[in-house]
Amino acid sequence: MTIVEPVLASATRTRLDAAPSSAGSPGTAAAKARVEPAPGIPTRHGALLSWIARIATLTEPDAVVWIDGSAGQQDELKALMVESGTLVPLDPELRPRSFLARSDPSDVARVEDRTFICSRDRDDAGPTNNWREPAAMRAELSGAFAGSMRGRTLYVVPFSMGPIGGPISQLGVQLTDSPYVVVSMAVMTRVGTGVLDELGDAGAFVPAVHSVGAPLVDRDGSPRTDVPWPCNATKYIAHFPETREIWSFGSGYGGNALLGKKCFALRIASVMARDEGWLAEHMLILRVTDPAERVFHVAAAFPSACGKTNLAMLRPTIPGWTVETIGDDIAWMRPGGPGTDGRLRAINPEAGFFGVAPGTGPTTNPTAIEMLRSDVIFTNVALTDDGDVWWEGLTPEPPAHLVDWRGQDWTPDAGTPAAHPNARFTVAADRCPSIADDWDSPAGVAVDAILFGGRRATNVPLVVQARDWAHGVFVGATISSEQTAAAEGTVGELRRDPFAMLPFCGYTMSDHWGHWLALGDRLAAQGVALPAIFQVNWFRKGEDGRWLWPGFGENSRVLAWALGRVAGDAEAVESPVGLLPAPGALDLDGLDVPAADLAALFDVDPGSWLEECDLTEEFFGRFGARLPDALTTELDALRRRLHDATPVAPAAQ
Ligand code: OXD
Ligand code: MN
């Protein structure tokens, strides 16, 4: 059996002492793999080496390759995948240094029903997570991972979430048998030897094990043919919050497999944050500069595929304002340390964007279109006849012929989308034309405002400011959104997505709200200025089904009002659900939104809000005694305000 393909000659690799792929038979314990400090092994970290040896013994790869972070090694891996058919190189003129991957049709999105939080106590995972007893899950995983890398290479991917060595950053090591995952991790995180240097001999790291679950050699030693996108019908995306471990099996796609992203930066990091007094949130980060050169930072939580990447790259339509991108998906926020004003400071722990391609076009996100000109890994988009990519929304008219995401000929009358609705691009953050120069500053940026959004056709106004921190936490806890394609579920159905964290919180959501409340109380007691909190909804529709708000660049008007509130120079009026822009306070110059649409955008109907309060009570009820009292108080107060309101509340404009 070949140990390591010759193109990887430059990689640091270890041939394992064990030869289980030929010697293994059902029930036969694999020989013990050894990965020890030695010339060519780029670390002396004992715990790391023995963990790798344990996983290699369990999974029985042919070889171990250390990812050093060099461009040369990444290029070798890409060449290997071009040869194996996993990557299709795109035309070098039209899309330089870019590739297309087509996944197995069964492996196209995160699998929430196979995502597990394995805390010791079921109640710590809470009613909205799939809980599994840790020992039982370990036993199940051992069975699944046993021999799962036979005939493949185990790649060791040391990675840093946040700049290496930064005060808000954290380290991890992913072991994976997927070269596609390796090259994607190298875009989405900082990988390589620098991380090992930072780890030293004994530094802490989050261990993350990943296998596509498709060994190339059977237990009886007979070979299996490889496929361009190996995966397994059985999947596990398992998290052990107490030991801060991640185990992912069976999928090569996105958040299931790039373990720095949802698994580490949200599920495990949210637990670390709870224990250590900080926040790990599903939020983009923006810098907004107003015409007076005042600089603000905004963190914003939206459920998956609600246009977060578009907002993160927004081009303001109002004169004199600029928006720079710091992150598009995840924010880690920590109160500033000694010598600072103690405010919450945010970093984007990622180093790239893994965005949804369909719907991204020159009108919706011109910045992303520029960003995607070169150096991109596309997954599940369509291929044009001249070797470029296409997806729904890229151009008004589709090309006359394409190869669709399944690799089939496609014409506009095919009746199916050419790109999968959850097709993705993976691209380095510094390719983004609107990225802030100091986007990766280790100390992060002080957060002035937090937005909670969702996709709501009815009820929720375009923008409303929370009355105070506790009300803001209530607003975050009650976010719901119409379902999209990023997760499983019926598209269009309304689902609760508190803090946009429903599938991403590593512990019970009600404790997460309690953590926010406690952190706010602690900072307020220290006299620290807390970010102002707003709810936004770009997606409200009229009775005739039309969008009432043009969205995209025009959302800068909403940002301008919200940041005017922060600066103390934008007027607001009270409503039962929070503070709305006072008449004339929202800059609508040059925008043609009919007065009736504007009124409808801000309409607060006490009747339907009271109905929504009943649903909130039901939802909160699921958390039993672990629901923070402050949220019951907020719900009672909201109901009181709605009862006191006239049946038809005046619109803001
Ligand atoms: C994502 C998601 O991919 O939220 O960012 O699903
Ligand atoms: Mn996301």
Each residue of 479-521: pLDDT tens digit?
Answer: 998 875 545 456 667 789 999 999 999 999 999 999 999 999 9
Strands 130-131, 115-117: pairing is parallel
Nearest CA to ligand 1 atom 2: 304
Which ligand sits nearest to residue 281's alpha carbon? 2
Give the SS3 label for residue 627: coil
> How far is it, in rounded angstroms, from Cα 245 to Cα 207?
5
CA atoms in the 13 A half-sphere facing the CB of 78? 22
Buried b vs exposed e over 500-522: b needs ≥16 C-beta within 10 Å?
A: bbbbbbbbbbbbbbbbbbebbee
Confidence at residue 275, expressed as pLDDT on a 0 to 100 scale? 98
Annotation marks residue 263 as catalytic: no
Q: How far apart are CA 42 and CA 543, in angstroms?
A: 63
C-alpha 265 to ligand 1 mean position (Å): 12
**Cα 66 to Cα 184: distance, rounded to the nearest angstrom:** 15
Distance 197 CA to ligand 1 centre (A): 31
Spacing, Cα 114 to ligand 2 middle (Å): 18
- Count how many Cα atoms sit within 13 Å of the Cα of residue 562 in the half-sphere of its side chain: 30
Q: Tell me the C-alpha distance between 289 and 294, whole Å.
A: 5
Catalytic residue from among 306, 432, 505, 613? 306
d(Cα 374, Cα 391) in Å, to the nearest integer? 16
Q: Where in the chain is the domain with CATH 3.40.449.10?
A: 2-276
* SS3 state of residue 615: helix
At residue 652 the predicted structure's pLDDT band, cuts being 50, 70 and 90, is very low
Gyration radius of the chain over CA positions = 25
Amino acid in the structure at residue 265: A
| Run of H or E residues at 369 | helix 366-371
> Ligand nearest 283 Cα, by number?
2
Distance, in Å, from the CA atom of 252 to the CA atom of 267, rounded to the nearest integer, reads: 19
Instruction: Specify the pairing of strand 245-249 against strand 206-211.
Output: parallel
Per-residue pLDDT for 23 more than 50?
A: no
CATH class held by domain 352-431? mainly beta
Class of domain 2-276: alpha beta
Please state the atom number of ligand 1 nearest to the C-alpha of residue 255. 3
In a mutational test of the pocket of ligand 1, which residue from 262, 283, 484, 505 has the highest number of ligand atoms less than 8 Å from its CB?
262
* DSSP element (H, E) containing 193: helix 193-199
Q: Which of 29-38, 200-209, 570-579 has the lowest mean pLDDT?
A: 29-38
CA of 571 to the centre of ligand 1 (A): 35
- 3-class secondary structure, 429: helix
**Dist CA 538 CA 548 (whole Å):** 8
Q: Each residue of 403-433: pLDDT tens digit?
A: 999 999 999 999 999 999 999 999 999 999 9
The percent of residues above 90 in pLDDT, for the chain, comes to 89
Q: Judging by beta carbons within 10 Å of its beta carbon (0-12, 13-18, 19+), is residue 588 exposed, middle or buried? A: middle
Q: In this structure, how many other beta carbons lie within 10 angstroms of the beta carbon of residue 233?
A: 9
**To which residue do tokens 């512990």 refer?**
507
Ligand nearest to the CA of 330: 2
Stated as kind and residue range, the H or E segment containing 289 is strand 283-289
Residue nearest to atom 6 of ligand 1 (CA): 304
Q: Report d(CA 172, CA 159) in Å as an integer.
A: 5
Rounded to the nearest whole angstrom, what is the distance from the C-alpha of residue 357 to the centroid of ligand 1? Answer: 12
CATH architecture of the domain formed by 280-351+440-644 = Alpha-Beta Complex (3.90)
**Is the Cβ–Cβ distance between 367 and 313 less than 8 Å?**
yes
- Would you say residue 39 has pLDDT above 60? yes
Residue (of 593, 587, 592) closest to 570 by Cα position = 587
Helix, strand, or coil here: 186?
helix
pLDDT at 13: 61
Identify the band that residue 269 occupies on the pLDDT scale cut at 50, 70 and 90.
Answer: very high
> Which own/partner pairs from 36-42 qualify as long-range (CB within 8 Å, at least 24 positions apart)?
38/14, 40/12, 40/13, 40/14, 41/12, 41/14, 41/66, 42/12, 42/66, 42/68, 42/193, 42/196
pLDDT at residue number 263: 98
Look at residue 133 and tell me whether its pLDDT is greater than 70. yes
- Name the closest ligand to CA 487: 1
Ligand 1 shell residues, CB under 6 Å: 110, 254-255, 304, 329, 354, 486
Mutation probe of ligand 1 site: the residue of 256, 261, 304, 360 with most atoms within 8 A of C-beta: 304
Which atom from ligand 1 is nearest to the alpha carbon of 424?
Answer: 3
Q: 4 in the Ramachandran plot: left (φ > 0), alpha (ψ -120 to 50) or beta?
A: beta
Label each residue of 460-521 as H, E or C.
Answer: CCCEEECCCHHHHHHHHHCCEEECCCCCCCCCCCEEECHHHCCCCCCCCHHHHHHHHHHHHH
Distance CA 85, CA 82 (A): 5
CATH 3.90.228.20 residue ranges for the chain: 280-351+440-644
Q: Which amino acid appears at position 349 of this protein?
A: P
Atom of ligand 1 nearest to the CA of 303: 4
Tell the burial category of 20 from Cβ atoms under 10 Å away from its Cβ (0-12, 13-18, 19+).
buried
Q: Which ligand is nearest to the CA of 254?
A: 1
Q: Could you give the 3-state DSSP secondary structure of residue 389? A: strand
Q: Judge whether 266 and 296 are in contact, CB under 8 Å.
A: no
- What tokens appear for 151 in the block? 């005939």
- Cα(304) to ligand 2 centroid in Å equals 5
Per-residue model confidence as pLDDT tens digits over 288-342: 999 999 999 999 999 986 889 999 999 999 999 999 999 999 999 999 988 889 9
Distance 487 CA to ligand 2 centre (A): 10
CATH 2.170.8.10 domain span(s) along the chain: 352-431
Quick one: which atom of ligand 1 is closest to the CA of 109? 6
Kindly give the distance from the C-alpha atom of residue 185 to the centroid of ligand 2, in angstroms, as a whole number: 16
Amino acid 618: pLDDT: 96
Atom of ligand 1 nearest to the CA of 487: 6
Of all protein residues, whose CA lies closest to atom 4 belonging to ligand 1? 304
